[in-house]
Amino acid sequence: MKAAPFEYSRPADIDEACALLAADENARVIAGGQTLVAMMAMRLARPTRLIDINRIAALAYIRQENNKEGEAVAIGAITRQCVVERDALIAKSVPLLARAIPNIGHAATRARGTVGGSLANADPAAELVLSAITLDAVIEYRADGESGESPAREFYIGPMITTLPAGAVLSGVRFPIWRGKVGVGFHEVNARRSDFAFVSAAAQVELGDDGKAKRIAIGVGAATDFPLRLESAEQQLKGGALDDAKVRAALREALADIEPLEDLHASADYRRRVAVDLAARAVADARQAAQGKSHAY
C-alpha cells in the first residue's frame, strides 16, 4: 500500500513547527520516520500534514550541562541514534545508554532513527524509553513559544501514549551523570536480534568503597504498557552487597503485582518470569562492572 495524501512542511525553527502542529490536529511531526513512515504505508496512520524537523540544527546536539539537578548529558531530539551509539561523552557519562542503543533495530534503523522520535513514539519495548525511565531522565519540549519539561517516569502513561501537551514538540532529553564506581547491565529477549523485545531489563549500580550498593536503578521494559522503574526492589537492595539470592527475591516481590502484556509472542506468565531473570542478570552485570571485573558496557 501507499500512504494517503498529505501536505508537507519544513519549518525553520521549533516554534514554527509548534505553530504548524497546533493549527492542524491531524498533523504529525517527522524526524527519522522509522515508525511513522511504515505506519503511513500501511495506512495505520493518516496524517493530513507532515512537519519535517530534520533541518532544525538547534535540535541536533550532545553536550554536558550543569543545572540545579546536577551534571547531565543533554541530547537534542533529532540527534541520530547512531551518533549517540558512537559518542565518547555518552560512553563515559551515560554508560547504560551506550549499552542499550546497539539493541535498537538494525544499523540502518539507527542511522535514520532519532532519539526524540523514539522517546515521543513511546513504544513499550523501546530501549531508549526504558533507559530514560531507569535513569530518571528529563524530557524537554516546546509549546506556545515556551519551554517545558517532564520527568521520564511521569511522561509515559500507556502504550504509545505520553503526557506531551497538544501542539508541543519534543525538543530533547537530559540524562543525569552518575559518578564513582558505576557499572551497568542491559538484557532483552526477542525472536531475532533487532526485532522488538518481548522483555527487556536495565540496571545501573554505584558501589561504595565497602562494595555495597550506594545507589541502584533497575528498569523493566516491553513487559507492560510502558517500562517500569522497580523502586521497591531498589529500596530493598540499596546499602547491601547485591547478593544474587537477595536480588532475585527483591525483584520477584517488585514484579508480583504487575499486569504483564499478553499476545501471540509471549504469555503474561512468561513475561513476568523472564523479567525477573533478565533484571537479575542486568544487576549482576552492573555489579561486576562497577567492581572492575568486566567492562561497563
Domain 181-290, CATH? 3.30.390.50
Q: Strands 49-52, 62-67: parallel, antiparallel or unpaired by DSSP? A: unpaired
CATH fold of 7-52 reads: 3.30.43
pLDDT by position in tens, the chain (length 297): 788 899 999 999 999 999 999 999 999 999 988 888 888 999 989 999 999 999 999 999 999 999 877 899 999 999 999 999 999 999 999 999 999 999 999 999 999 999 999 999 999 999 999 999 999 999 999 999 999 999 999 999 999 999 999 999 999 999 999 999 999 999 999 988 778 899 999 999 999 999 999 999 999 999 999 999 999 999 999 999 999 999 999 999 999 999 999 998 899 999 999 999 999 999 999 999 999 976 544
Domain 57-176 has CATH 3.30.465.10: yes
**What ranges do the domains of the chain cover?**
7-52, 57-176, 181-290
Q: What is the pLDDT of residue 193?
A: 79
Q: What is the pLDDT of residue 155?
A: 98
Would you say the CATH fold of 181-290 matches that of 57-176? no
Q: What is the pLDDT of residue 35?
A: 86
Q: What is the pLDDT of residue 297?
A: 44
Which is nearest to 58 in space by CA: 162, 142, 157, 168?
A: 142
Q: What is the pLDDT of residue 175?
A: 98
